[in-house]
Amino acid sequence: MASHSTQTDILRQAQEFLLVPAGLSSGDLETVMSRVAGHSIDYADLYFQYARHESWSLEEGQVKSGSRHTEQGVGVRAISGEKTGFAYSDDIVMPALLDAAAAARAIARSGNPGNQALSVHAGNGALALYEPHDPLVSLKEDEKVALLLKVEQEARRLDPRVRQVMASLGGSHETVLVMRHDGSLAADIRPLVRLNVTVIVEQDGRREHGSSGGGGRTDYSYFLTEERALGYAREAVRQALVNLEAVPAPAGTMQVVLGSGWPGILLHEAIGHGLEGDFNRKGTSAFANRLGERIASEGCTVVDDGTLAQRRGSLNIDDEGTPTQNTVLIENGILKGYMQDRLNARLMGVAPTGNGRRESYAHLPMPRMTNTYMLPGDKDPQEIIASVKKGLYAVNFGGGQVDITSGKFVFSASEAYLIENGRIGRPVKGATLIGNGPDVLTRVDMVGSDLALDTGVGTCGKDGQSVPVGVGQPTLRIDGLTVGGTEE
Amino acid sequence: MGTITADRHAVGAEDVAAQVLEMARRHGATAAEVDTSAAQGLSVTVRKGDVETVEHHRDKSLSVTVYFGTRCGSASTSDLRTDSLEEAVGAACAIARFTAEDPFNGLADPSLLAKDIPDLDLYHPWALTVDDAIALAARCEAAAFAVDARIVNSEGASVTTHESTDVYANSNGFIGSIRSTRHGISCAMIGEDEGGMQRDYEYTTSRVPGELMAPEMVGEAAARRTVRRLGGRQIKTCQAPVLYEAQAAKSLLSHLVSAVSGPSLYRRSSFLLDTLGQALFPAAIHIYEDPLLKRAMGSAPFDGEGVATARRDLVTGGVLGRYCLDSYAARKLNLVTTGNAGGVHNLTIEPGSEDLAGLLKKMGRGLFVTELIGFGINGVTGDYSRGAAGFWVEDGVPAYPVEEITIAGNLRDMYKGLVAVGRDVDTRHNTRTGSLLIERMTIAGR
C-alpha cells in the first residue's frame, strides 16, 4: 500500500523530531509507560507534541504585525474505570516525564505499577490525507506580505464604498506522537493554513461588514491557485454590500431555507455535539439511549468524516492514535451511531471511531467532530426556494452554540433574505435562529442535490478546548424554525 | 516565600524577562517588551460520587515584541530554555524585517508607567491535596443530589486551585510582576421530568480559599437552578421588557467595552463611533473601572504595557466620558492611553437600590433571562439577536420557565433603555454588575 511507506516515514520523522533531541530512547519510553500502566489501569498514553504557528495581519493597507508561536510538551494520561489521571510537562525530558507519570498514575489507588514487558512498536492504519510539509516555509516572508496586500487591493478595487480591509494569513505545522500502554506508537505531521478577510463598507453614514476566508491541511500555495485569496476578498465585499441594504429581520417561527456549505453549522450544533460519545455514555445528551430511533426525516443521512483529503477537519490519526473514519451518524433519518474516543468507546462497549481529539498536550482528549455533513438529496435548490410562500433564506452564518441536555441550539445568520411567493426578496439583518436538536431534522422536508463543504474556517470549542473542524450540507428546507429578528 | 512555588521557573521569571530584553538588544532591536508567566494548578472533578478526573496543570510561556524603529514583530514560546528563547527573539526580529513602518508603534510613554506597584493581596495559595479536593467536590455534588428527586444526573462537581506569576518588562526599564491565585468550586447538574432534561450550574471563585462559598451551598444552588428550568416552553413572539440576571447581564457591558475599545474605533467598525460626550445611557447610569480593589478577580496594578492603573470613570450621568485605549490606539486617535492594554479591570456598573425581587416587581410583566446562548452581535451596527432561556414574569413573579426563544434589539436602544440596575452584584468576574432591566426588546418564539 502506497500510504504504508509514508506512515512509517512519518513515525520515524516524529521520533527523530520529538524524542532524539531530548535524548529519549525506546527504552526510556518503556520505562515511563511501565510506571504509568499496570494493575487496575485500563488504558494509558503518552502524547508528545511540537507545533509552530504563525500569523500575519494587515490593516489600513499595510501588514503591520506578525507573530510566531512555538509550543511543545508531553501529556501523560492514565485511566482506571471511569477515572482519568492527567499531568503534563512542557519539558520533554526524562525526569519531567517520570514526574508526570507518577502524578497521572495516582488515579489508581490500589495495585502496583506493572512489570509486564512491553515493547515499543509501530501501530497501524494511519491515513495519508495530506503532505507532512511545513506550510510556514511554503512562501517567503515577503511573499506572505505580498499576498495580503493583493487581497487588500482587490477588495478596494471592487467598490469605492470599501473603507477598511482587514486580512490575516495564518499557518501551523504540528508533529504529534502517541504511545499507548501496549507499546504501540502512532504519529502524524499536520499542516494547516488559513486566510481571512473582513471589510467595512460605508454609504450615507451607514456602515456594515462582510467576512470570508478559507484554508485546509495544505500549504500557502493553496491561496494562490484558482484565485482563492482574491475570491475571499470578493466574497467579503459582496456580503458587506448586501448587508448595507438589509432591512430588519422577521421575528417568529417560519419556513427556513438554508443554503449549502457553511450553513451546515446547523448539523454541528443541532445534532453533532449531542452525538458525541461522552455525553451519551453519561446520559446527559438529549440523544442518549436513542440509537435506532428516528431523529430526522427520511431524506437525511449525516456523517462525520475525518478522511477527506486536505480538509481542515481531517486527521490521519486522531489524538489517541486511532485512524479517522467516515462514521454514519444518521442514515435515512435513523440514529445509527455516536462519535467515540477510546475511553467512552470502551465504557460503552463499542469501537472507537477516530474522534478522540485534544487541543494540545496540556488538554485531555474528548470525543470531537471532524468534518460533519449531510449527503445530498434530489431536489433542485431553485425548486426548494420556489416552494416557499413566505420564509427566510439564510446563506451565511457566524457562530453557533448548543445546550446538549435540553437540545436547544442556536446559529446566527450573517447573510439572509426574505422569501416571498417563491422568490428571493430583500436582504435582512443578521438574526439568530433557535431550534430543538432532537426534532429540527424531522422537519427537514426538502434536501437539495447541491452538497457543498465549507471553505475551511470552522473552529469548534468544547470545555475550553478549540479544534479545527469542517461542516457541509446541501440546500435544505426546514418546515418551522424560530428566527430571532425584531419585526413581529 | 518564593519556594512555595514548586515551579523553579516562577522564581526566575523576572530574570528570564531581563535575559530576553538583552537578547533583543543584541539582535539590534531599538525597543522590546516581554510578557512571561508561570502557572500551576490542580483540578479535580467528581461525578456521581466518584472521581472522574484529576488534572495537574503546569504551564509556562513567554512572548516578546521587538521594535526596529517603527516596525515590529512578535513571537512566543512555551519552552524557556536559552536556545529556544534565542530562537523566539530571532523569529520576532525576522518578522519585523517584513512588517510595515507604523509611526504609532512603540512602548508606552515612560512617564505613565507604574512607579510604585501596590500589593493588591491577590496571592493566597491553597495547600490543597488531591484527596481534600475530591472530598470537597464530593460534598458539593452530594448536596446537589439531595435537593430534589428530579435531579437525576450530574456533569460533576469540580474543585480547582491555580496560581501564577506574570511578569511584564520593557526596554525602558520597567519590570513588574504579579503573583496571584484563583480557586473555585463549581457544579453542573441534570434534572429530568416528563418534559425532558435540563442542565444548569453554579460556581464560586475567589483569590482566597477561605472566601469560597461552602461546597454544599454551591451544590444546592446548582440543583435549584436546574430544577426551576424543568418544564421550559416557548412563548409567543412579542415585545416586552427584559430583565437580565446579573450573571447574564455582564455580557451587555462586555459589548460596550468592545465598542469603545481602540481597534473598533480606529478601524471605524464600532456602532459607538464618535460618541464621546454623548448620553448613551439614562442619566442615572455610572460605569467605572476599579483596578486597585484588593483581592478582586480583575485587579491589576499596571496594564499589559506597564501603565499604572487607577480608578477611572467610563460612563458618568449616562454620558460616555472616555474610550478604552492602549498606547497604540491612543496615538492613532491622538488621545492618551487609558491603561487598558489587555482590557478593562473590575469594570463596575454602580448598583441601584433594588434587589432582584424588587427588579422583578418593577418589571411586572416580561422576560427574566438567566442564560444566553450564541454570538448574534454585530459590533459594526449594534444589532443584537441571541438565544435565551429564563422565566416569563407575571405580576412581578416568575410564572413559568421559558426556552427556545431569542431576544433581539439594537445595543444603542438597549443601553438607552437600561431602566434599572440591581444591587445583586455578581463579583465573581472582572465585570461587576447587578441584574439589568431593559425597557423593551423583541422576543421571538412560537
Which residues of chain B have a CB within 8 Å of the CB of A482?
A: 234, 404-406, 444-446
Residues from chain A that touch B87, judged by Cβ atoms under 8 A, are: 70
**B367 and B440 co-located in one domain:** yes
Question: What DSSP string runs through A229-270?
Answer: HHHHHHHHHHHHHHHHTPBPPBEEEEEEEE-SSGGGHHHIII
CA distances from A48 to A362, B9, B400 (A): 10, 21, 51
Q: Are B73 and B93 in contact (CB under 8 A)?
A: yes
Q: At what angle do helices B13-26 and B82-96 cross, to 10 degrees?
A: 40
Q: What is the DSSP letter of B63?
A: E
Domain boundary among B227, B256, B286: B227
For residue B271, the surrounding DSSP H or E stretch is none
Q: Show which of B195, B227, B259 is a domain's final residue.
A: B227
- In the numeric block, which cell numbers belong to residue B194? 416528563
Report phi then psi at B48, rounded to 5. 50, 45
For residues B75 and B83, what is the distance between their CA atoms, to the nearest angstrom? 14
HSE at residue A423, side-chain half, CA atoms within 13 A, is 3
**Cα torsion angle, A314, A317, A318, A324, sign:** positive
Q: Answer whether residue B233 is part of any domain.
A: no
Q: Which residues of A touch B53 (CB under 8 A)?
A: 83-86, 364
Rounded-to-integer distance, Cα B168 and Cα B176, Å: 5
Give residue-wise pLDDT tens across range A384-416. Answer: 999 999 999 999 999 999 999 999 999 999 999
Task: Report the pLDDT averaged over residues A244-272.
Answer: 97
pLDDT at A348 over 70: yes
Q: Quick check: A206 pLDDT over 70? A: yes
Check: CB of residue B102 under 8 Å from CB of residue B72: yes
The conformational region for residue A388 under phi > 0 = left, psi -120 to 50 = alpha, else beta, is: beta
Residues B291 and B166 in one domain: no
Interface contact flag, A488 B88, Cβ < 8 Å? no
- Does residue B434 fall inside a structural domain? yes
Which domain does B426 fall in, by range?
Answer: 238-444
pLDDT of residue A2: 41
Q: Cell numbers 524585517 label which residue? A: B97
CA distance A244 to B92: 39
Residue type at B263 in one-letter notation: P
Chain A positions touching B265 (Cβ under 8 A) are: none
Report the C-alpha dihedral over residues A281, A286, A290, A294, rounded to 10 degrees. Answer: -150
- Tell which residue, A63, A87, A78, A278, has the closest CA to residue A150: A63
Average pLDDT estimate for A455-483: 97
Pair (B66, B22) in one structural domain: yes
Residue A240: its chain B contacts at CB < 8 A? Answer: none
User: Are B76 and A67 a contacting pair at CB < 8 A?
Assistant: yes
The interface predicted TM-score of the complex, written ipTM, equals: 0.94
- B78, B85, B193, B407: which to substitute to probe chain A, counting the most A Cβ within 10 Å? B78
Question: Hey, are the CB atoms on B79 and A141 less than 8 Å from each other?
Answer: no
In angstroms, the CA A440 to CA B392 distance is 24
Question: Which residue, among A392, A405, A460, would best test binding to B if mutated, counting the most B CBs under 10 Å from its CB?
Answer: A405
Instruction: Report the sign of the C-alpha dihedral through residues B93, B95, B100, B105, in that order.
Output: negative
Helix A26-36 vs helix A94-105: crossing angle, to nearest 10: 20
In a domain, B248, yes or no: yes
- The Cα B50–Cα B145 span in angstroms is 14
Same domain, residue pair B129 and B243: no
CB contact under 8 A, B77 and A70: yes
Q: Does the distance separating the beta carbons of A435 and B387 come in below 8 Å?
A: no
Q: What is the DSSP letter of B3?
A: G
Same-domain check for residues B223 and B244: no
Q: Helices in B172-293 by DSSP H: which ranges?
A: 215-227, 246-259, 262-266
Together in a domain, B281 and B325? yes
In this complex, do A63 and B100 lie within 8 Å of one another by their Cβ atoms?
A: yes
Query: Is residue A33 within 8 Å of A46, Cβ to Cβ?
Result: yes
Nearest to B99 among A64, A70, A282 (CB): A64
Chosen from B197, B226, B270 to mutate, greatest number of chain A CBs within 10 A: B197
B211 shares its domain with B346: no
Q: Are B283 and B195 part of one and the same domain?
A: no
- The per-residue pLDDT for B2 is 26
> Once rounded to an integer, what is the mean pLDDT over residues A200-208?
96
Spatial separation of the C-alpha atoms in residues B167 and B189, rounded to whole Å? 38
Residue A314 phi, psi dihedral angles, 5° rounding: -85, 155
Residues B146 and B141: their CA atoms lie apart, in Å, by 9
CB contacts of B74 in chain A (<8 Å) are: 65-68
Model pLDDT, residue A111? 53
Sign, Cα dihedral of B91, B97, B100, B106: positive
Give the pLDDT mean for A237-254: 97
Looking at CA atoms only, how far is residue B338 from chain A in angstroms?
22
CB A188 within 8 A of CB B293: no
Residues of chain B with pLDDT under 70: 1-11
User: Rounded to an integer, what distance in angstroms lies between the CA atom of residue B329 and that of residue B345?
Assistant: 18
For residue A424, is pLDDT > 70? yes
Residue B308 and residue B417 in one domain:
yes
Determine the pLDDT at residue A367.
98
Q: What average pLDDT does range A320-338 have in this prediction?
A: 97
Encode burial over A335-360: b for 16+ CB neighbours within 10 A, e otherwise: bbbbbbbbbbbbbeeeebbbbbbbbb
Is the Cβ pair A73, B232 closer than 8 Å?
no
- Candidates B297, B307, B273; CA nearest to B411 is B273
Does residue B232 lie in a domain region? no
CB B190 within 8 A of CB B153: yes
Looking up residue B136, the CATH number of its domain turns out to be 3.30.2290.10
pLDDT per residue over B299-349, tens digit each? Answer: 999 999 999 999 999 999 999 999 999 999 999 999 999 999 999 999 999
Which of the listed residues B227, B251, B269 is the one where a domain comes to its end? B227
How many domains are there within chain B?
2
For the segment A219-226, the average pLDDT, to the nearest whole number, is: 96
Same domain flag for B298 and B414:
yes
The DSSP symbol for B14 reads: H
Q: For residue A392, which residues of chain B lie inside 8 Å, CB to CB?
A: none
- B234 CB neighbour count, 10 Å cutoff: 17
Of the candidates A345, A420, A411, the one whose C-alpha atom is nearest the C-alpha of residue A389 is A420
